Amino acid sequence: MSEISKGTERSTKCQEHQILHGRLRADTKVYVDATRRLESCKQEDFEETYEAAESARLAFLRARKALALHVVAHKCER
């Protein structure tokens, strides 16, 4: 029951996909950086650093899900 593509393969990139992908990359970087800080932070800063890493992780997951949902709904590859 899949809708076969209507032959309009103009290889134009999906702009929303690009935006979501860019956001995912940015959120991934923030998450990775936050995780690195966790390794070297002082004991008394740990909770705060951990909270920052955790919210960065959630943002990363949201961005990843947003991109995945977009791909499913829109059937675009990039």
Residues of the shown chain interacting with Zn ion in the complex, contacts defined by CB under 5 A = 14, 17, 74, 76
The one-character DSSP state at 50 is H
Shortest distance (Å) from residue 2 CB to Zn ion:
16
Distances, alpha carbon 74 to alpha carbons 11, 21, 28, in Å: 14, 14, 23
Q: Judged by CB, which is closer to Zn ion: 7, or 39?
A: 7
Nearer to Zn ion, 65 or 74 (CB): 74
Cα 36 to the center of its chain, rounded Å: 18
Q: Considering the complex, what minimum distance in angstroms separates the CB of residue 69 from Zn ion?
A: 11
